[in-house]
């Protein structure tokens, strides 16, 4: 590991090697320590150099070549789908640790929505294990995209989950470093951060998965975000979820920058879903959230915020789907407590209105 990368890794509370994380402040401050300038924001993107063991035992995974993966059945399903049309993914609104809520939400969304993204949630950090969630969702008839974070498991536990996810039918494994435990509902827990999202992408690819990662184009270092994605692709990423960055124009700019660097990703921009004050509150908790000007207020001040939120999401989705390189959209956000199934129905309604654009 290069010396400057080692120094940055030592300073970073998440011990990231391929930083920064998506939570870095707009002023370059650390997500969890405002007094710390994130050590990754002022330099070039860290070049992909493999998954390196911290213990001094040498690389545990080579940078190149990666082992030939055996595609998981879920990954093959998604590749087939993406070969025919664009897709609608939706953040999964089901209550954590509640299989009945999970089944009810799948029933409400199945059909118009192609896949659900079930990942980390600040207000509900304790969830069914990723591979078990994938199996539950797949058994109910929905294609699961499963978020896996590096906060709660070390590399060995993650490798076990990745093997389980391939077996359980995960269509995509979405690799994130994860918010620190000092944010979210479980500050009592010790964070792990044995590896980071880029390294996790490599492990997921090696396990045969279709791999997605996130990038935040408007978060420092803005000029390095596309280059950072390129390094994640070298590690194993196939798809990029573009976090909320202010609308279709910033997404188009980001895709153009990435393509100029040789990016091969399919892009899935996040669409903010605001249907009431509860879903707006949840969206505001997202780190580095940038919404199109007036988006939130326009919905919440409408006579019927739910109807206005559906119309706004459809319009923004259409603008995103018109961009070169966009292979789908992600209806992003969450439900107000107790409105999980209604929220799922509204997501299905948004997806239904987009059928002609896919
Ligand atoms: S902002 Fe993220 S990457 Fe940067 S130092 Fe803080 S935790 Fe590490």
Residue 120, domain CATH: 3.20.20.220
- Categorize the per-residue pLDDT at 54 as very low, low, confident or very high, splitting at 50, 70 and 90: low
- Domain assignment of residue 33, yes or no: no
In short, whether 40's Cβ falls inside 6 Å of ligand 1 is yes
**Nearest CA residue ID for atom 2, ligand 1:** 21
How much is the mean pLDDT over the chain?
93
- Domain assignment of residue 329, yes or no: yes
Query: What ligand 1 atom has the least distance to the C-alpha of 32?
Result: 6
In short, whether 12's Cβ falls inside 6 Å of ligand 1 is yes
- Domain assignment of residue 181, yes or no: yes
Of 6, 11, 24, 151, which is best to mutate to test ligand 1, by the most ligand atoms within 8 angstroms of its C-beta? 24
- Domain assignment of residue 310, yes or no: yes
Higher-pLDDT residue of 7, 37: 37
- Domain assignment of residue 163, yes or no: yes
In short, whether 31's Cβ falls inside 6 Å of ligand 1 is yes
- Categorize the per-residue pLDDT at 287 as very low, low, confident or very high, splitting at 50, 70 and 90: confident
Element (H, E) at 61: strand 59-61
Residue 267's alpha-carbon distances to 120, 263, 285, 328, in angstroms, are 20, 10, 23, 7
In short, whether 46's Cβ falls inside 6 Å of ligand 1 is no
Residue 135 has pLDDT above 70, yes or no: yes
- Domain assignment of residue 12, yes or no: no
In short, whether 179's Cβ falls inside 6 Å of ligand 1 is no
Please tell me the distance from the alpha carbon of residue 291 to that of residue 299, in angstroms, as a whole number: 12
pLDDT at 286 (0 to 100): 85
Please tell me the distance from the alpha carbon of residue 162 to that of residue 12, in angstroms, as a whole number: 26
Q: What is the pLDDT of residues 17-29, one digit of tens each?
A: 999 998 899 999 9
Higher-pLDDT residue of 43, 80: 80
- Domain assignment of residue 265, yes or no: yes
Of 5, 12, 196, which is best to mutate to test ligand 1, by the most ligand atoms within 8 angstroms of its C-beta? 12
**3-class state of residue 331 by DSSP:** strand
Average pLDDT, integer, range 33-61: 81
pLDDT at 227 (0 to 100): 97
Q: What percent of the chain has pLDDT over 70?
A: 94
In short, whether 50's Cβ falls inside 6 Å of ligand 1 is no
pLDDT at 323 (0 to 100): 98
pLDDT at 278 (0 to 100): 92
**Nearest CA residue ID for atom 8, ligand 1:** 12
Query: What ligand 1 atom has the least distance to the C-alpha of 29?
Result: 1
- Categorize the per-residue pLDDT at 201 as very low, low, confident or very high, splitting at 50, 70 and 90: very high
Residue 69 has pLDDT above 70, yes or no: no
pLDDT at 66 (0 to 100): 52
C-alpha 109: how far from its chain's center?
20
- Domain assignment of residue 288, yes or no: yes
Which phi and psi (to 5°) does residue 184 adopt?
90, -170
- Asked if residue 332 lies in contact with residue 95, where contact means CB atoms within 8 angstroms, the answer is no
pLDDT at 65 (0 to 100): 53
In short, whether 21's Cβ falls inside 6 Å of ligand 1 is yes
Range of the domain at 341: 71-357
Q: What is the pLDDT of residues 102-119, one digit of tens each?
A: 999 999 999 999 999 999
Average pLDDT, integer, range 322-331: 98
Please tell me the distance from the alpha carbon of residue 122 to that of residue 176, in angstroms, as a whole number: 13
Query: What ligand 1 atom has the least distance to the C-alpha of 40?
Result: 4
pLDDT at 153 (0 to 100): 97
- Cα of 57 from ligand 1 centre, angstroms: 26
Average pLDDT, integer, range 252-278: 97
How many domains does the chain contain in total?
1
Kind of pairing between the strands at 59-61 and 172-176 = unpaired
Average pLDDT, integer, range 149-155: 96
Residue 63 has pLDDT above 80, yes or no: no
In short, whether 14's Cβ falls inside 6 Å of ligand 1 is yes
Higher-pLDDT residue of 206, 258: 258
pLDDT at 234 (0 to 100): 96
**Nearest CA residue ID for atom 4, ligand 1:** 38
In short, whether 137's Cβ falls inside 6 Å of ligand 1 is no
Token pair listed for 246:
């202010």
- Categorize the per-residue pLDDT at 7 as very low, low, confident or very high, splitting at 50, 70 and 90: confident
- Cα of 209 from ligand 1 centre, angstroms: 27
């Amino acid at each position: 590991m290069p010396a400057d990368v080692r120094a940055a890794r030592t300073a970073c509370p998440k011990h990231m090697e391929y930083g920064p994380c998506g939570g870095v402040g707009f002023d370059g401050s650390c997500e969890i320590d405002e007094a710390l300038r994130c050590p990754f924001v002022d330099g070039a993107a860290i070049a992909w150099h493999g998954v390196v063991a911290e213990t001094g035992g040498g690389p545990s995974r080579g940078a190149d070549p990666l082992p030939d993966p055996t595609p998981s059945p879920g990954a093959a399903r998604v590749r087939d789908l993406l070969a025919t049309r664009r897709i609608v993914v939706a953040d999964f609104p089901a209550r954590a640790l509640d299989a009945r809520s999970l089944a009810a939400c799948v029933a409400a969304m199945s059909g118009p929505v192609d896949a659900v993204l079930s990942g980390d949630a600040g207000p509900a950090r304790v969830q069914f294990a990723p591979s078990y969630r994938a199996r539950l969702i797949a058994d109910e008839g929905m294609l699961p995209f499963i978020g896996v974070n590096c906060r709660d498991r070390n590399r060995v536990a993650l490798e076990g989950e990745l093997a389980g996810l391939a077996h359980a039918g995960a269509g995509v494994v979405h690799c994130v470093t994860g918010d620190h435990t000092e944010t979210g509902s479980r500050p009592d827990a010790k964070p792990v951060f044995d590896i980071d999202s880029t390294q996790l992408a490599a492990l997921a690819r090696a396990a045969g998965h279709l791999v997605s990662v996130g990038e935040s184009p408007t978060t420092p270092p803005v000029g390095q975000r596309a280059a950072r994605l390129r390094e994640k692709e070298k590690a194993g990423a196939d798809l990029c979820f573009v976090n909320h960055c202010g609308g279709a124009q910033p997404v188009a700019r980001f895709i153009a920058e990435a393509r100029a660097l040789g990016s091969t990703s399919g892009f899935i921009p996040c669409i903010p879903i605001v249907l009431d004050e509860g879903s707006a509150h949840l969206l505001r908790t997202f780190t580095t959230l940038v919404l199109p000007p007036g988006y939130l207020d326009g919905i919440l001040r409408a006579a019927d915020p739910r109807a206005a939120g559906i119309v706004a999401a459809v319009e923004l989705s259409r603008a995103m789907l018109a961009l070169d390189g966009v292979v789908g959209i992600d209806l992003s956000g969450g439900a107000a407590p107790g409105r999980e199934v209604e929220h799922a129905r509204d997501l299905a309604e948004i997806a239904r209105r987009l059928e002609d654009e896919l």
